Amino acid sequence: MPANTLTPVQAYAQQQLGARLIDVREPNETALGHAQGAELIPRAQLVAALTEAREIAGAPERHGILLICQSGVRANAAAQALSAVGFGQVFSIAGGGNAWQQAALPWHSAASLSADELARYSRQLLLPELGIGGQEKLGLAKVLLIGAGGLGSPAALYLAAAGVAATGAGKLGISDSDHVDVSNLHRQILHRTNSIGRLKTDSATAELAALNPLVNVEKLPALNAENIDALLPQFDLILDGSDNFATRFLVADACVKHKKPLIYGAVLRFEGQVSVFLGTSDSSGTAPCYRCLFPEAPPPEHAPSCAQAGVLGVVPGVIGTLQATEAIKLITGIGTPLSGRLLMFDAKTTRFREVRIPRDPHCPACAPSSQ
């Protein structure tokens, strides 16, 4: 063991005697937890920070400077860098934070997340754009999935895996009245062969609980003109995975009425499309709604269903995953939503094409004259 290295137990004893403990990881890492009492100074800033305040750092040097990271590698390099510029009694902690926790030494964790949540969401918590704050927003979110089929399946799985509605205040509503059929299984990956004959909401709830038991799933009936105005206000955003224009227009108009963001997706054969309609929930008043794109439903002969024209099973997987992505972005405020843009996917050529969607000043749903 190098002379400038201490075990976590040895380092903790030195800390109690007055040694200065510094965590050299990045802020998005220390936000997940750190040794109790540690100062948080990223490695890239450490030498400059301590050199600038050398007169302050001089006193703790009598007891030593202890450096810790996740595994010990960065802390060891940082200790060598400090020693090279004249700091004495500098030690790195062998095994880093991992070994510190294994030794059951005092550790400060994010108060809002349990140990299971910190482990479950650890990879996305490392993203500076998300972090603890973003994870908290996901857990509190109220998202309504319309349909537990081809689009709703991947969307539900990824939202649940990400921790959407994983607190008592959040909920993931699933609206569907269909039963699982064997013909669903090539694309509706939320269901299994042993689910055939079950209500899709029952099958979906069981699968999501197996994936992430923290998520609060609420089973809802199919939306209709009688219940939609009571159900929509209970949610923050709506993800439409329906497969018919009657439901799409019903939902889209209700989202404008109740100022709810709508994440739209549709698939047929080898193609799919996705967009986000903020409607009148957009404070600038410039975002289009669904009827700005489709003022009226096309004739039935021009809009066959997947049951009539077929669909490649992976296509709704691509589109439903994009819908989940947009939902996570809207919940956390990350990035730029697909508002005002229609993203189209062609599986045959593996190409995406984007089309701008202007707001229609005469739209029957969102134009000022229609309100």
* Residue 371 clears pLDDT 60, i.e. is over it: no
Structure pTM? 0.76
DSSP string for 204-263: HHHHHHHH-TT--EEEEPPP-TTTHHHHGGG-SEEEE--SSHHHHHHHHHHHHHHT--EE
Give the separation between CA 128 and CA 27, rounded to whole angstroms: 8
Mean pLDDT (the chain) is 90
130-to-29, 32, 34, 138, 267 alpha-carbon distances in Å: 12, 12, 18, 10, 30
Bridge partners, residue 267, by sequence: 272
Better-predicted residue by pLDDT, 219 or 370: 219
Burial of 225 from C-beta contacts in 10 A (0-12 / 13-18 / 19+): exposed
- Tokens for 5? 């290295």
Instruction: Kindly report, residue by residue over 192-210, the tens digit of the pLDDT.
Output: 999 999 999 999 999 999 9
H or E stretch including 354?
A: strand 351-356
Q: pLDDT tens digit string along 27-80?
A: 878 877 889 889 889 999 999 888 876 655 444 456 789 999 999 999 999 999
Q: What are 72-101's pLDDT values in tens digits?
A: 999 999 999 998 988 888 999 999 999 999
Quick one: what percent of the chain has pLDDT higher than 70? 92
In the chain, % of residues over pLDDT 90: 70
pLDDT tens for residues 121-147? 988 987 878 888 899 999 999 999 999
The whole-angstrom separation of Cα 22 and Cα 349 is: 53
158-166 mean pLDDT: 97
Res 24: pLDDT: 95
> How many residues are there in the chain?
371
